[in-house]
Every structure is written in C-alpha cells, then in structure tokens.
Structure 1
Amino acid sequence: MEYEIKPGANLYRANLEKAYLYGADLKGADLRGANLYRANLQGADLRGANLYGADLKGAYLKGANLKEAKLSGADLYRANLEKAYLYRANLKIADLKGADLKGADLYRANLEGADLYRANLEGAYLKGANFEGADLRGANLKGADLDDILQDAFMKLKEKKH
C-alpha cells in the first residue's frame, strides 16, 4: 500500500519503522515521538521538521536536509547522517552515540548536552556549533573544523581563572 506524505504532515507518534522515504518532502512535518527506526530517509527534505523525541536508531539520513530541524531528545543511535545538512538544527540532549556524521554540515547547530560517544565527525563542518556539555569521548574528529569549539573552550577556561 502506498501513501502520499505532504509537507507539513502531522505524523505525531507515527510508526514508520523501516519505512522507505528516500527523497521524501517532509518540510515542517510534525514527527514528534515518531518511530523511524531503521527508516531510509536518504536525501529527504526535513527542513524545519519537528522530530522531538523521535526514534531514529539506525536510520539512514545520508544527504538529508535537516536545516533548522528540531531533534531535541531524539534517539539517533548509530544513525547515518553522512553529508547531512544540519544548519541551525536543534540536537539538544540528542543521543548520537555511534552516529556517522562524516562530512555533515553542523553550522550553528545546537548540540548542548548531546551524547556523541564514539560518533564519527570526520570532516564535519562545525563552525558556530554549540557543544556545551556534550559527550565527545571516543568521537572521531579527524579533519573536522574545530576552530570555534576550541576558541569557546579556551574562553570558558579563561573566564573560570578570573
């Protein structure tokens, strides 16, 4: 059975486990608490979508557009976000353990308190991203743009000394 999902769709708590949503237009969709376990969202347009508390464990989001998406509290354990566009996305307290963010654009993304344990951030663009309180233990940061993050950390250390 096929269904048409339109931009801005109300998919609150929808069960989309293992759904094939390749290139789907989900702009502004309400996906709060949705089950997207192992869903294929490669190249999907999720700009401004609300994925608060959604289950995206093992989801395939390679090249997806998540500009300004709300992913606070989302479970992205071992999700593939390679080359995903996460400009100004809210990933506050998101579970990104073991996630693949290779080459992802996280410009000005909020990752405050996010769990990035053993995440792959190789070559990721992290300028202006907020990593305050984030767990980056074991994360691969090879070739990632860390200038702003290191500068912020240095400024905080400097403030603590005074």
Structure 2
Amino acid sequence: MRELERYYRVLDLEPGASLEEVNQAYKDLAFIWHPDRIPLENQRLREKAQKKLQEINEAREKLRSLKTKHQIPHHSHHSHHSYNSYQPYQHHSPPPPPKKPQTKTTYQSPNPQSANSRSANHQSPNPRSTNSQSANYEPPKPNPDLSGKDFSHANLSNKDLSGRNLSYANLSGANLTDAFMHKVVLRGADLSEANLFRANLLLADLREANLRNTNLIGADLSGADLRGADLTGARVRSGDRLLVKLIGANLSGAIMPDGNVHG
C-alpha cells in the first residue's frame, strides 16, 4: 500500500485519483521534466530530468496497470505514449508509399547528345534543379512589430509569436496556452491575468512586464530577462512543487509571486 501511495505522490496526486487524472498528471510532468527542455551544456540537470522522467513513467504505468485491470480489461497499453526511454520531441508518421516509375515518350532529337541529356534529366532529377524551382517562392513575412497593440482577452493559444516585438502591448487576460514565444520582446507589456500555461518563453525579454495573477504553470522561462517584472500573485506552483522553468532567468529586481523583491 505504501508503494502505491508513493506512485500517487510522484504524480502529485491524492490516493484514489481517477485514470484520467493519472494520465493528465503524467502528461503535465513529462512535459516539464523532458530533458530536451534543458540546455545541452547542463548535463547534470539533464541527467536529473531523465531520472525524474523514469520515475514519473514508472508511477503512471503501475497506476494505469492497476486501474485498467479492474476497470477497463480490454484497454490496450499501446494507446498511450511513453517517455520511459528518453527521446527528443518529434512526430512520427509512416513513410509515403514509393512512387511507381512513370514512363514517358520523349522526342528523339537528331542530336544524340541532346537526347541523352534529356533522358538523363528525366530519369534522375537533379536536386539543385528542384531547389531552383522553389527558390522563387517566398512565404509571406509577418510584421514582427506589434508593440503597443491591444490583444486583451484575445485567444492566442498555440500561436507562434517567436521573435515578435510586443513591447508595451496589452495582453491582459489573453489565452496564450502552448504559445511559442521564443525570444519574444514583451518589455513593459501587460500580461496580467493572462493564461501562459505551457507557453515557451525561452530567452524572452520580459523586463518591467506586468505578470500579476498570470498563470505560469508549465511555462518555460529559461534564459528569460525578468528584471523589474511584477509577478505578484502569479501561479507558479502546485502545492509545494514549482512548475515553472526558470533556468538561467534574470530575476534581478523582480517582484516575486509572494510579493518579495528578488535580490
């Protein structure tokens, strides 16, 4: 029984939590502790994260096995993704079926050298030629300067805002769940009561930003500049567990969630 309670404790759950709660807790913690989210040069923390990930995976497997045995006998364990063996984030998809060779009747030029050249090009496409065909295509370039814009209570979930200039923008109450905001500039921006659950804010500029009562659970603020930012009342913990990544973040002069100023 003590071992069972330990598995619940590893997933930060109360004993008797449902299978859905077990799976959700596992996904949240696996996201936070995945070694890919730690800089390569910090080997000590990467090893710690890998060990933590193994503990999380073991706890989830033991609890899932117990619950499916009594509740869902025919449920297959293959329907759940496992992080037991450390793997980088990637999406797997089956390779496309090989294309059948196409035959094409070509005009026979009187010049044998010219005909052979065309035939060779038809059978073995030159990669450089393929690249040259798409070289002229340029995707539309978004305007990176959004400084001072009003995005209050906007739904920006899963948006890619990396590198954008959002300094002094109004993002109060905005939904930025799972947003990708690598190197975004949010200096002086109003993010009060915004939802930044699992947002990627690596190397973001958040100097003097208003983060009062912001949900930062699962957010990655590694390397971010938070000098002078106001995090009063921000959600960063679940119980006694810190659930925000602040590796290498500059918190000099920042007002922490408990109201104390970081030294």
**Residue 153 (structure 2) aligns with:** 38
Question: Aligned partner of 1:112: which letter?
Answer: R
Q: Does 1:134 align with 2:254?
A: yes
Alpha-carbon distance in structure 2 between the residues aligned to 1:137 and 1:103: 15
Q: Deviations over 1:77-136 (max 9, x none)?
A: 100001000000000000000000101000000000000000012201110001100001
**Residue 114 (structure 1) aligns with:** 229
Q: Deviations over 1:51-88 (max 9, x none)?
A: 01000000000000010000000000100001000000
CA 1:42–1:8 in structure 2 vs 1: closer, same or farther (change >3 Å)? Answer: same
**Residue 20 (structure 1) aligns with:** none
Q: Pick from 125, 140, 149 the counterpart of residue 245 of structure 2.
A: 125
TM-score normalised per structure 2? 0.43
* Higher-helix-fraction structure: 2
Task: Structure 2: give runs of 5+ residues left out of the alignment.
Answer: 1-139, 238-242
Alpha-carbon distance in structure 1 between the residues aligned to 2:216 and 2:161: 16
Which structure has more relative contact order (CA 8 Å, sep 6+)? It is: 1
Contact 2:235 2:257 in 1 (8 A): no
Report the identity percentage. 42
Task: Structure 1: give runs of 5+ residues left out of the alignment.
Answer: 1-5, 10-28, 140-152, 157-162
**Residue 8 (structure 1) aligns with:** 142
Structural RMSD (CA):
1.5
Q: Which has the larger radius of gyration?
A: 2
Contact 2:223 2:247 in 1 (8 A): yes
Alpha-carbon distance in structure 2 between the residues aligned to 1:86 and 1:51: 13
Alpha-carbon distance in structure 2 between the residues aligned to 1:121 and 1:137: 8
Contact 2:201 2:224 in 1 (8 A): yes
**Residue 200 (structure 2) aligns with:** 85
Alpha-carbon distance in structure 2 between the residues aligned to 1:86 and 1:66: 5
